[in-house]
Structure 1
Amino acid sequence: MVIVLGFSLLYLWFILFPGKVAPEALHYFSAEQISQGRDHSRSQQLLFLIGVLTEILLIVWFIWSGKAAGFSGWLQRANGGNYYRSSLLFFLALWVVLRLIHLPLSYFGSFYLQRKWGFSTQTLGSWWLDYLKGAGLDLIFSAFGVLLFFWILKHWPRTWWLVGASLFSIWLVVQNFIWPVVVSPLFNRFEPAKDPAILSMVNELASKADIPVDEVLVMDASRRTTRANAYFAGLAGTKQIVLYDTLLKNYPPDQVKAVIAHEMAHWRQGHIIKGLTLGIIGNFLLWGLLFIFIRSVLPPSRYHPPYTWALTILFFLTVSFATSPLQNTISRSMEKEADQVSIQLTGDVAAAIGLQINLVSKNSSDVSPPAFIEWFSYSHPAVLNRIHLLQQTNINP
């Protein structure tokens, strides 16, 4: 908790007092763009910090005030001591409270501000439909996970952390297969790309990268946002590239090519597999630490009461926040490597730099964030750092 408090205070300080903008930023962006980027980033960062701290402080109060244990005991008595029903009801109650607390922040951040800044193309009804779909999926997957969690606690009281880590690691792999096929189509439509120029571009880059691409799909991102992106999906022998329709509509062909090359570079360098591997290793470490944490809080017993779930949520919230710098440092390293490899694939430094400038301008990003903010919360290098890297990249003949 000390680390969380320290990072929170530093994060808040640099949000409110970001310091001077690097003079070099004016070479690429206007003063108005720089100011808008700062304002937009500040609002998003404040919402993130408020959301995380609100959840953490609420659960800390809930546990250490004794109310979690009291509510847990009441549920057990009301349900005749039924272990799984009491645990599930405890989860549901906590899930609803956290959802209700976070709802205003979700609305303000993902609808109101996105409309204000001109990024969202959704109506309020469409936003609510997406929110309810997402909440429903979260409820279903989480409820199943909670029941499985308490089943593991009951049957493996001393090695439950090892069983839990193993099952969750399997889930990390499985979701890469089911998410593009089952979940993503619930929110967007995907159609095969028909533009011969795009297909030719993908085939050319795939040949250079030595990556088989089974499908090139276009996603109707414009029904929700003006933002552009692309990503690869699939593992093993099935690979597909998904292009936002906003990317194809609003960016010139050489910059579209730069985006595709960047995503292919992730595959060529094995970042997806490396990310999964690191995730699995970290997963086992976290479950081991969770085991130690719960044993230090609960009295020694083979029985784990329903409020064990509140302890688990608190643990993962705090650890996720405290380890953000590590996670983002690894992510930025991969992004830098993908930028360099993408230049080898396209041979076009100017297009890659133009893409970064265009993305930041259209997305109103902070062009010169404080070093601490970038280190703590940026999964990609800040734009000036990316431009420096791209300029220094040598193109192989």
Structure 2
Amino acid sequence: MVKAQFVWGILLGAVLILSALYLLFLFLPAPVPALVGQYFSPAELERARRYQQTVRLLGLAAYLTKAGLLWWLWWSGQGASMARLVLKWSGHRYCLALALFFGGIWLLLRLAELPFTFSSGFVVQHRWGFSTQGLLSWWLDYLKGSGLDLLFSGIGTLLLFWSTARWPTGWWAAAGLFLAAWMVIETMLWPVFVAPLFNRFEPVADGPIKDMVVRLAGRAGMEVEEVLVMDASRRTTKANAYFAGLGGTKRIVLYDTLLKNYPPEEIEAVVAHEIAHWARGHIVRSLVWGIAGGFALFGALYAVLRISAPGEALRGGPYAPHILIIIWLFFHLLSFLALPVQNSLSRQLEREADRVALELTGNIPAMVQLHVDLARCNLQDVAPAPFVEWLTYSHPAPWRRIEAALKAW
């Protein structure tokens, strides 16, 4: 028990320390590099900083609320009491009890974070002039997203607990294999089956944009399967683009707001950046990193369960339903503690994509102006505190991307 208290104390203490530092540096004025003043006014920087502070504060509050609820359910014994009641109601039918218990805890967590999700995703976006979405549309999106999360996380939970019965000491490896298979399947099928549930996608029409894509792809020595336009303007005024898919489902997706509001040379810089992700195999590299991280995560979970719930981890048969709480708590805490590693790897890929994009276009002024315009349009914090960038930024801060482009001149 002492070992368990020590391990959980370390995990919780690390999360609280990181959270406190995050809050401190989020609101502590950060030095602004001289370069930034060439492109942004003090008023623009302050407005973007206030917007980002609001969104990030709500995100942190949602995270800590869920962590606190899971912690209370486990250490108070309320979770175990709920599990016993569910087992009784289900006539001690294990699978039914596990499904009901999962659904109940999932719903509690959803309700706990809903005020923050609604505030950040609807209220704040309207207040700052980004959202073009009505209340009914927002709720439909929320319910669809929640339904998918309930379905997939429910299936994952049932597979995980089945694995604990089938392989009492090696389930963590089986869980890693299941997760690896799911990550590959999700990467392939998400653009085809899930994304269209939320947006309409149409191929880029014949013309300058399509010709430009073909030309850039040729320079990169590859063929682009699909370039699609997404009706992002149904929900937001923000502009963006992304790449997705694997094998025959690979595609570049451009927001219609990008095509409507940005000049051709900046659109070219965006497309070149996305092609660079393909050309350098970033989807596959991200998958490999994710799969390796999944095995490490489940291995660590098994080690923690052996000292936190030895009666379950060391005996044969499936884990009791209430063990789901400690599993979710572990994943929840680790998801925050792993952010620096995940985001560092992501920033590495983004820097490489920017560099290759410049090689493909040779248009440094357009790349610089793109980062300026995207930061201004999306109210990005151009020069966040280094700690905030290190912890939470999946892309380099805008000023670093501008600086990197200028150095290539």
2:394 equivalent in structure 1: 379
Q: Which of 78, 90, 95 is the aligned partner of 1:84?
A: 95
1:8 equivalent in structure 2: 19
2:166 equivalent in structure 1: 155
Contact 2:122 2:138 in 1 (8 A): yes
Q: Which of 95, 109, 120 is the aligned partner of 1:98?
A: 109
Mapped partners of 2:349, 2:225: distance in 1: 24
1:281 equivalent in structure 2: 292
1:341 equivalent in structure 2: 356
Mapped partners of 1:234, 1:101: distance in 2: 33
Percent identity, aligned pairs only?
46
2:185 equivalent in structure 1: 174
3-state SS of 2:113 partner: helix
Per-residue CA deviations over 1:54-73 (Å, capped at 9, x if unaligned) read: 11111011100111111112
Give 5+ residue unaligned stretches, structure 2: 1-11
- 1:351 is the counterpart of 2:366: yes
Per-residue CA deviations over 1:218-252 (Å, capped at 9, x if unaligned) read: 11111011111222222124432211111100110
Per-residue CA deviations over 1:21-58 (Å, capped at 9, x if unaligned) read: 33432211012111101101101111111111111111
Query: Size of the alignment, in residue pairs?
Result: 394
The alpha-carbon deviation at position 309 of structure 1 amounts to 1.0
Mapped partners of 1:233, 1:41: distance in 2: 26
- 1:321 is the counterpart of 2:332: no
2:321 equivalent in structure 1: 306
State TM-score, norm by structure 1. Answer: 0.97
Per-residue CA deviations over 1:128-148 (Å, capped at 9, x if unaligned) read: 110111111111112222222
Q: Measured at CA, do residues 302 and 18 of structure 1 come closer, stay the same or move farther in structure 2, by a change above 3 Å?
A: farther
The alpha-carbon deviation at position 208 of structure 1 amounts to 0.6
Per-residue CA deviations over 1:152-198 (Å, capped at 9, x if unaligned) read: 11111111111111011000000011101110111011111114001
The alpha-carbon deviation at position 211 of structure 1 amounts to 1.9
Mapped partners of 1:185, 1:238: distance in 2: 13
Mapped partners of 1:237, 1:97: distance in 2: 39
The one-letter code of the counterpart of 1:224 is R
1:240 equivalent in structure 2: 251
Mapped partners of 1:93, 1:18: distance in 2: 42
Mapped partners of 1:132, 1:123: distance in 2: 14
3-state SS of 1:18 partner: coil
Contact 1:190 1:220 in 2 (8 A): yes
Mapped partners of 1:78, 1:125: distance in 2: 36
1:209 equivalent in structure 2: 220
Mapped partners of 2:179, 2:392: distance in 1: 25
Contact 1:212 1:239 in 2 (8 A): no
- 1:19 is the counterpart of 2:33: no
Q: Which of 403, 406, 409 is the aligned partner of 1:388?
A: 403
3-state SS of 1:227 partner: coil
- 1:364 is the counterpart of 2:379: yes
State TM-score, norm by structure 2. Answer: 0.94
The one-letter code of the counterpart of 2:292 is I
The one-letter code of the counterpart of 2:133 is Q
The one-letter code of the counterpart of 1:8 is S
Contact 2:160 2:175 in 1 (8 A): yes
Mapped partners of 1:44, 1:342: distance in 2: 30
Contact 1:37 1:364 in 2 (8 A): yes
3-state SS of 2:294 partner: helix
Contact 1:162 1:284 in 2 (8 A): yes
Per-residue CA deviations over 1:96-127 (Å, capped at 9, x if unaligned) read: 11111111111100111111111111011110
- 1:52 is the counterpart of 2:63: yes
Contact 2:343 2:390 in 1 (8 A): yes
1:66 equivalent in structure 2: 77
Q: Report the RMSD for the aligned CA atoms in angstroms.
A: 1.2
Contact 1:84 1:150 in 2 (8 A): no
Q: Which of 132, 141, 145 is the aligned partner of 2:152?
A: 141
Contact 2:190 2:245 in 1 (8 A): no
Per-residue CA deviations over 1:316-344 (Å, capped at 9, x if unaligned) read: 11111001011111111111111110000
Mapped partners of 1:283, 1:60: distance in 2: 23
3-state SS of 2:320 partner: coil
The one-letter code of the counterpart of 1:275 is S
Mapped partners of 1:230, 1:188: distance in 2: 14
3-state SS of 1:280 partner: helix
Mapped partners of 2:385, 2:231: distance in 1: 34
